[in-house]
């Protein structure tokens, strides 16, 4: 683990505190608990919530939690435990024994426990769990006598051997077997062999004697393969399990997941030791999971799934497709299945009451796990449930309306990054109507997606890494997913699984990431070897296109177009954004260069344009004509030639600016003067060069010479921005004339227009003064020509060069506003070329030399310091100086929070990110 100095000292302080207090174990159950839900840091999420439920008097199997501090201690002390731990564990085990009247390791009345991980924030399926700890050849006899169910007891023992040998004896011991040779697979192979010999298909068809024999086979195999006997001593089993959970914190999967989710390595996991309850004791037993509201849509219904005669892992692992918990939660797909509500009405009623009570108590949507053992309900877990962005918005607004939470809490309940999912594209409904789905599954993650079929996680990750554009879009299609698949799931546009329910691994992970996902789509049959999926008569191959509607669970063959969602119809979204706007202080504008972008930005709630890049008109569709004129201007060799070309270009610039000003109806539009190095626009191909030469009326060689003379070694720091306006004042002049004339004409037509002229790449006040003189002169000329005496406008500068930030006090004497160009400011502060970071930045991030890409999230300690200096010095000169940001960071929630704290007036970002910035600004204002 690489740790920063502060983190290291925090960890040491934590360890010192722990050593002093020596309270490493917290008990729960029997109507009380030593911990509470607030103690997640110490007890992990699972432990803290088990304690809370036990404290509320809910039926929680008694147990205890070994704290996360023990995990930290373990890694800091060469994988050893604190001295007092053993005694504490034994004491707490004794407490569980006395509550239940059973004894761990007892031949007549044995207590069995589970050993589970529990980090501060949930890491679904990433770490280890061992069930049925305490079973051996002696205790099983006691359990058989107690339950009268030898088959169940043998099955539990063989499951223990299977799990324990895999998790403790192989994985935690650092043994890395060849593919398919792991102990778990070898034992599963023995199970399959036995079934074949008996001529049966299901495990449940094996007799008690078969299973007893299988236990012996398993033990021999463990000894053969791992060179050690399976431990019969229950205490050895318990400590082996505890150690394996701590080890699993640093397993490959867990590390990978933490990297994606940005969970610090230092947090550590707690270990929960809890008495076993069994959902697999026959037809009056069951297990399930539920959500107090539907986590996919946010609907206020108790939503969940259950399986009769099963253990919890069977639901989460997606091995059997579970049944709907109640009638209200049924959909077309599950209509005919039996619900818990009808199959076990008493247990269901009890559960329903508990879920209501828990939601009121926690004042949030919860995800709960339960087991019913011979009709008796036990609560195994509760935690604040993961939800997608669409559901998060609905729940927050509904809960505010139900008076469960306040308006402020509702705003804070939706993370700005989750809001992206509300804005997410969906399959074009028209295209969906014109075709029929090939299959339907459970809608586990909303939105639409298309991509090429990948049948393994590695395949998906590889395609994405090696391809670009549309070719890099894949849909991962799996029987079911497991924690080993996370890299491929992350790389894919969407996930489709044949098995599993709404709480399967795929659904849980996709929900956390806000990814389009369909699970339990049992009409598809995957043939990995042939590289195909069969859906009824239809066969699709790996690499074929498919499209998913994750909101309805529909799967289509081929590539269906995506469209933006109808936000106006989403009332909850409207309410939430309205509340956010009431609380935020920061203004939010958009970076937009066309009337269409401007329109979109306003629809998303932008209050102006913070960056209109004039050069936009020279790229892409419709750019041929203005680009031709610009090129003529660039290769001019005299001012007269240049002015002639500029006069022609003027028409295009004016029309472009005018259309956007008109669209914004008087809202401020910050128009930046031409910024890129001119060489960027010189044609590359011989044909185009020849065309330009004939246009200008010179020979090809002459043109090439002129073009070559523009070449720069380091164009990002070369002849660009204000420097162009200094060398060629007529370029500034033309643009300013176009802006002011467009404005004057709009005013004369009775419309409103408010341009703000912005000068880029400034590093001295003198450059600004030079440009101001031009602007002032042109203003007089335009006022005279148009007869409009007062043309409203501001003139300001970008702060994107470190020197400009340092000399902001001087620069503010001239400027009426500042806008931080943090793309360039980051480039020049770090000295990282913004166009070349791909070759080294990933190494910096992987090695934790930088916490993240400073071009995505503002580097507060370096670039942020310059921003603060510039604000302080600028406002010292001009207290009412208007200050904004228009670099990419303006749409990044963490950077928006910084901008709020730093005292900026507004942020400007791409239109799509405007709602995210609005919500992030409200979060910043509400943060303590
Ligand atoms: C910036 O540098 O942050 C900026 C907004 O300008 P550009 O990205 O066009 O250089
Ligand atoms: Mg810039």
Does residue 505 or residue 882 have the better pLDDT? 882
Enter the DSSP assignment of 408: H
| For residues 137-158, average pLDDT | 94
- Poorest-pLDDT segment among 216-230, 232-246, 299-313, 339-353: 299-313
Separation between Cα atoms, residue 104 and residue 96, nearest integer Å = 9
Residues in contact with ligand 1 by the CB-under-6-Å rule are: 611, 613, 675, 800, 821-824, 886-887
- What is the tens place of the pLDDT at every residue in 217-273? 999 999 999 999 999 999 999 999 999 999 988 877 788 778 777 788 888 899 999
pLDDT at residue 124 in the model: 66
Q: What is the mean pLDDT of the chain?
A: 91
Ligand number, closest to the Cα atom of 672 = 1
Name the percent of the chain lying above pLDDT 70: 96
User: What residues contact residue 290 under an 8 Å CB cut-off, 6+ apart?
Assistant: 302, 303, 304, 305, 325, 351, 355, 367, 368, 370
Answer whether residue 42 shows pLDDT above 70.
Answer: yes
**Dihedral-angle region of residue 101 (phi above 0 means left; psi in -120 to 50 means alpha; beta otherwise):** left
If you take atom 10 of ligand 1, which residue's CA is the nearest one? Answer: 824
pLDDT at residue 316 in the model: 59
| For residues 12-16, average pLDDT | 56
pLDDT at residue 297 in the model: 83
Distance of CA 610 to the CA centre of its chain: 27
Its pTM stands at 0.81
CA neighbours within 13 Å on the CB side: how many for 8? Answer: 6
Mutate to test the pocket of ligand 1, among 886, 904, 907 (most ligand atoms within 8 A of CB): 886
If you take atom 3 of ligand 1, which residue's CA is the nearest one? Answer: 821
Which atom of ligand 1 is nearest the CA belonging to 886?
5
Separation between Cα atoms, residue 479 and residue 441, nearest integer Å = 13
CB 19 within 8 A of CB 82: yes
What are the residues facing 237 on neighbouring strands? none
Q: What is the DSSP string of 201-242?
A: SSGGGS-HHHHHHHHHHHHHHHHHHHSSPPP--HHHHHHHHH
- Please provide the distance, in angstroms rounded to a whole number, between the alpha carbons at the two ends of the chain: 32
Quote the ligand 1 centre to 822 CA distance (angstroms). 7
Residue 546 CB-density burial (10 A; 0-12 exposed, 13-18 middle, 19+ buried): buried
Ligand number, closest to the Cα atom of 826 = 1
pLDDT at residue 2 in the model: 38
Quote the ligand 2 centre to 890 CA distance (angstroms). 13
Separation between Cα atoms, residue 870 and residue 806, nearest integer Å = 6
Separation between Cα atoms, residue 444 and residue 506, nearest integer Å = 8
Quote the ligand 2 centre to 845 CA distance (angstroms). 24
- What is the tens place of the pLDDT at every residue in 510-531? 876 778 999 888 889 999 999 9
Does residue 507 or residue 359 have the better pLDDT? 359
pLDDT at residue 14 in the model: 55
Q: What dihedral do alpha carbons 896, 901, 904, 906 form, nearest 10°?
A: 40
Quote the ligand 2 centre to 22 CA distance (angstroms). 56
Q: What dihedral do alpha carbons 113, 117, 118, 124 form, nearest 10°?
A: -120
If you take atom 6 of ligand 1, which residue's CA is the nearest one? Answer: 821
Q: What is the DSSP string of 492-548?
A: SSEEEESS--TTSHHHHHHHHHT-EEEE--TTEEEETTTTEEEETTEEEETT-EEEE
Quote the ligand 2 centre to 626 CA distance (angstroms). 22
- What is the tens place of the pLDDT at every residue in 682-720? 888 888 899 889 888 899 999 899 888 888 888 889 999
Tokens of 811: 């620069």
Which atom of ligand 1 is nearest the CA belonging to 591?
5
Which atom of ligand 1 is nearest the CA belonging to 819?
5
pLDDT at residue 314 in the model: 67
Quote the ligand 1 centre to 676 CA distance (angstroms). 10
Quote the ligand 1 centre to 856 CA distance (angstroms). 13
CA angle 164, 166, 171 (to 5 degrees): 115
Answer whether residue 40 shows pLDDT above 90.
Answer: yes
Q: Which of 395-409, 475-489, 498-512 has the highest mean pLDDT?
A: 395-409
- Comparing CA positions, the residue from 281, 580, 563 lying closest to residue 450 is 563
Does residue 506 or residue 395 have the better pLDDT? 395
- Poorest-pLDDT segment among 54-68, 260-274, 344-358, 765-779: 260-274
If you take atom 8 of ligand 1, which residue's CA is the nearest one? Answer: 823
Which atom of ligand 1 is nearest the CA belonging to 823?
3
| For residues 369-380, average pLDDT | 95
Tokens of 26: 């917290």
Separation between Cα atoms, residue 397 and residue 574, nearest integer Å = 10
Mutate to test the pocket of ligand 1, among 798, 826, 909 (most ligand atoms within 8 A of CB): 798
pLDDT at residue 483 in the model: 75
Answer whether residue 70 shows pLDDT above 90.
Answer: yes
The residue assigned the tokens 């990933």 is: 842
SS3 category, 928: coil
pLDDT at residue 4 in the model: 47
Tokens of 862: 């370096």
Residue 679 CB-density burial (10 A; 0-12 exposed, 13-18 middle, 19+ buried): middle
pLDDT at residue 357 in the model: 97
Which atom of ligand 1 is nearest the CA belonging to 821?
3
- Comparing CA positions, the residue from 581, 585, 591, 580 lying closest to residue 908 is 591
Mutate to test the pocket of ligand 1, among 819, 855, 887 (most ligand atoms within 8 A of CB): 887
Mutate to test the pocket of ligand 1, among 800, 857, 859, 908 (most ligand atoms within 8 A of CB): 800
Instruction: Please pick, among 886, 899, 909, 923, the residue that the annotation labels catalytic.
Output: 886
Mutate to test the pocket of ligand 1, among 824, 856, 907 (most ligand atoms within 8 A of CB): 824
3-state helix, strand, coil in the chain (%, to 5): 50, 15, 35
> What string of H, E and C letters represents the secondary structure of 324-383?
ECCCCCCCCCCCCCCCHHHHCHHHHHHHHHHHHHHHHHHCCCEEEEEEEECCEEEEEEEE
In 388-458 the beta strands, taken as DSSP E runs, fall at: 426-427, 439-440, 442-445, 448-454
| For residues 602-616, average pLDDT | 94
pLDDT at residue 125 in the model: 64
Quote the ligand 1 centre to 792 CA distance (angstroms). 25
Per-residue burial over 753-772, b if 16 or more Cβ lie within 10 Å, else e, is: bbbbbbbbbbbebebbebbe
CA angle 437, 441, 444 (to 5 degrees): 120
CA distances from 27 to 30, 134, 286, 369 (A): 10, 19, 26, 20
CB 298 within 8 A of CB 391: yes
**Dihedral-angle region of residue 765 (phi above 0 means left; psi in -120 to 50 means alpha; beta otherwise):** alpha
Residue 298 CB-density burial (10 A; 0-12 exposed, 13-18 middle, 19+ buried): buried
Reported residue count of the chain is 928
Instruction: Please pick, among 71, 382, 490, 505, the residue that the annotation labels catalytic.
Output: 505
Separation between Cα atoms, residue 442 and residue 448, nearest integer Å = 14
- What is the tens place of the pLDDT at every residue in 550-595? 988 899 999 999 988 888 888 999 999 999 999 999 999 999 999 9
Per-residue burial over 394-414, b if 16 or more Cβ lie within 10 Å, else e, is: bbbbbbbeeebbebeebbbbb
Quote the ligand 1 centre to 854 CA distance (angstroms). 14
Quote the ligand 1 centre to 656 CA distance (angstroms). 20
pLDDT at residue 441 in the model: 85
CB 586 within 8 A of CB 905: yes
Quote the ligand 1 centre to 356 CA distance (angstroms). 51
pLDDT at residue 10 in the model: 60
Quote the ligand 2 centre to 549 CA distance (angstroms). 39
- Poorest-pLDDT segment among 38-52, 147-161, 313-327, 535-549: 313-327
Tokens of 891: 């749409």
Which atom of ligand 1 is nearest the CA belonging to 887?
3
Structural element, H or E, at residue 672: strand 668-672
- Comparing CA positions, the residue from 501, 510, 548, 506 lying closest to residue 334 is 501
SS3 category, 291: strand
Ligand number, closest to the Cα atom of 674 = 1
CA neighbours within 13 Å on the CB side: how many for 887? Answer: 30
pLDDT at residue 408 in the model: 97
If you take atom 1 of ligand 1, which residue's CA is the nearest one? Answer: 821
Whether 886 sits among the annotated catalytic residues: the reply is yes
How many CB atoms are closer than 10 A to CB 493? 21
Quote the ligand 1 centre to 649 CA distance (angstroms). 23
If you take atom 4 of ligand 1, which residue's CA is the nearest one? Answer: 821
Separation between Cα atoms, residue 322 and residue 659, nearest integer Å = 57
pLDDT at residue 463 in the model: 93
| Residue/partner pairs of 17-24 with CB below 8 Å, 24 or more apart | 17/69, 18/67, 18/69, 18/70, 18/72, 18/73, 18/82, 19/82, 22/82, 22/84, 23/67, 23/88, 24/66, 24/67, 24/69, 24/70, 24/82, 24/84, 24/85, 24/88
- Poorest-pLDDT segment among 45-49, 372-376, 684-688: 684-688
Tokens of 847: 């090695």
Residues lining ion ligand 2 (Cβ < 5 A) are 800, 821, 824
367 confidence band (pLDDT: 50, 70, 90): very high
Ligand number, closest to the Cα atom of 835 = 1
Which atom of ligand 1 is nearest the CA belonging to 760?
6
Quote the ligand 2 centre to 163 CA distance (angstroms). 57
Tokens of 594: 């066309």
Mutate to test the pocket of ligand 1, among 612, 675, 720, 866 (most ligand atoms within 8 A of CB): 675
Does residue 202 or residue 605 have the better pLDDT? 605
pLDDT at residue 520 in the model: 84
| For residues 109-116, average pLDDT | 96
Whether 517 sits among the annotated catalytic residues: the reply is no
- What is the tens place of the pLDDT at every residue in 279-296? 988 889 999 999 999 988
Separation between Cα atoms, residue 668 and residue 757, nearest integer Å = 10
How many CB atoms are closer than 10 A to CB 74? 21
């Amino acid at each position: 683990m690489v740790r920063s100095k502060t983190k290291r000292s925090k960890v040491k302080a934590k360890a010192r505190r722990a050593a002093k207090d020596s309270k490493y174990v917290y008990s729960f159950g029997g109507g009380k608990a030593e911990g509470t839900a607030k103690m997640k840091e110490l007890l992990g999420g699972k432990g803290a919530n088990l304690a809370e439920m036990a404290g509320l008097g809910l039926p929680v199997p008694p147990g205890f939690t070994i704290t996360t501090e023990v995990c930290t201690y373990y890694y800091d002390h060469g994988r050893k435990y604190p001295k007092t731990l053993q005694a504490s564990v034994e004491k707490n085990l004794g407490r569980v024994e006395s509550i239940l009247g059973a004894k761990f390791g007892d031949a007549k009345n044995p207590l069995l426990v589970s050993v589970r991980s529990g980090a501060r924030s949930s890491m679904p399926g990433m770490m280890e769990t061992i069930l049925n700890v305490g079973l051996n050849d002696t205790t099983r006899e006691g359990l058989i006598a107690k339950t009268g169910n030898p088959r169940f007891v043998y099955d539990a023992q063989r499951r223990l051997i299977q799990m324990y040998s895999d998790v403790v004896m192989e994985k935690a011991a650092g043994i890395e077997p060849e593919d398919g040779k792991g102990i778990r697979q070898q034992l599963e192979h023995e199970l399959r062999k036995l079934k074949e010999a008996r001529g049966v298909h299901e495990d449940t068809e094996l007799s008690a004697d078969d299973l007893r024999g299988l236990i012996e086979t398993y033990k021999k195999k463990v000894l053969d393969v791992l060179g050690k006997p399976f431990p019969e001593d229950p205490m050895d089993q318990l400590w082996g399990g505890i150690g394996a959970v701590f080890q699993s914190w640093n397993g490959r999967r867990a590390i990978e997941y933490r990297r994606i989710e940005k969970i610090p390595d230092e947090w550590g996991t707690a270990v929960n030791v809890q008495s076993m309850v069994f959902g697999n004791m026959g037809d009056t037993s069951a297990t399930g999971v539920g959500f107090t509201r539907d986590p996919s849509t946010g609907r206020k219904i108790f939503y969940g799934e259950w399986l009769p005669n099963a253990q919890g892992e069977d639901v989460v692992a997606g091995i059997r497709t579970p049944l709907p918990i109640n009638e209200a939660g049924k959909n077309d797909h599950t209509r005919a299945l039996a619900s818990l509500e009808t199959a076990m009405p008493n247990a269901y009623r009890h559960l329903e009451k508990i879920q209501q009570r828990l939601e009121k108590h926690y004042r949030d949507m919860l995800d709960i796990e339960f087991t019913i053992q011979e009709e008796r309900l036990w609560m195994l877990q509760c935690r604040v449930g993961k939800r997608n962005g669409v559901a998060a918005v609905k729940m927050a607004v509904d809960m505010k309306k139900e008076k469960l939470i306040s308006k402020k809490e509702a705003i804070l309940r939706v993370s700005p990054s989750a809001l992206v999912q509300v804005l997410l594209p969906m399959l074009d409904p028209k295209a969906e109507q014109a075709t029929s789905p090939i299959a339907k599954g459970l809608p586990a993650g909303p939105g639409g997606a298309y991509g090429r079929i990948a049948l393994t996680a590695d395949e998906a990750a590889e395609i994405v890494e090696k391809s670009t554009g549309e070719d890099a879009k894949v849909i991962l299609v799996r029987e079911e997913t497991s924690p080993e698949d996370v890299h491929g799931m992350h790389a894919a546009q969407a996930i489709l699984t044949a098995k599993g329910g709404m709480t399967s691994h795929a659904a849980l992970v996709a929900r956390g990431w806000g990814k389009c996902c369909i699970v339990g789509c049992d009409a598809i049959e995957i043939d990995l070897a042939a590289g195909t999926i069969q859906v009824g008569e239809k066969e699709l191959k790996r690499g074929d296109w498919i499209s998913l509607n994750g909101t309805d669970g529909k799967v289509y063959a081929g590539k269906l177009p995506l469209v933006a969602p109808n936000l106006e119809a989403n009332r909850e979204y409207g309410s939430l954004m309205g509340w956010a706007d009431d609380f935020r202080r920061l203004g939010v504008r958009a970076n937009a260069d066309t009337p269409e972008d401007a329109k979109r930005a306003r629809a998303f709630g932008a209050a102006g344009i913070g960056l209109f890049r004039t050069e936009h008109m020279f790229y892409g569709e419709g750019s041929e004509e203005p680009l031709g004129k610009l090129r003529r201007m660039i290769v001019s060799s005299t001012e007269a030639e240049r002015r002639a070309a500029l006069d022609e270009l003027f028409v295009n610039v004016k029309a472009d600016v005018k259309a956007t000003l008109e669209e914004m109806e008087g809202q401020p539009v910050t128009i930046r003067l031409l910024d890129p190095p001119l060489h960027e626009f010189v044609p590359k191909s011989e044909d185009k060069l020849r065309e330009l030469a004939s246009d200008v009326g010179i020979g090809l060689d002459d043109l090439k010479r002129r073009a070559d003379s523009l070449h720069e070694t380091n164009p990002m720091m070369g002849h660009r921005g204000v420097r162009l306006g200094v060398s060629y004042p007529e370029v500034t002049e033309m643009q300013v004339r176009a802006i002011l004339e467009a404005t004057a004409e709009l005013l004369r037509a009775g419309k409103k227009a408010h341009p703000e002229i912005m000068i880029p790449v400034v590093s001295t006040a003198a450059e600004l003064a030079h440009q101001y003189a031009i602007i002032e002169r042109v203003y007089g000329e335009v006022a005279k020509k148009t007869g409009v005496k007062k043309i409203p406008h501001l003139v300001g500068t970008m702060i994107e060069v470190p020197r400009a930030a340092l000399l902001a006090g001087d620069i503010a004497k001239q400027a009426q506003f500042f806008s931080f160009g943090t793309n360039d400011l980051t480039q020049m502060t770090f000295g990282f070329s913004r166009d070349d970071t791909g070759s080294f930045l990933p190494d910096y991030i992987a090695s934790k030399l930088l916490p993240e890409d400073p071009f995505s999230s503002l580097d507060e300690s370096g670039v942020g310091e310059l921003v603060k200096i510039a604000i302080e010095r600028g406002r010292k000169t001009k207290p009412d100086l208007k200050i904004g940001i228009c670099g990419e960071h303006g749409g990044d929630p963490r950077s928006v929070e910084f901008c709020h704290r730093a005292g900026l007036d507004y942020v400007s970002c791409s239109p799509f990110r405007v709602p995210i910035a609005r919500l992030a600004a409200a979060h910043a204002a509400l943060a303590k």
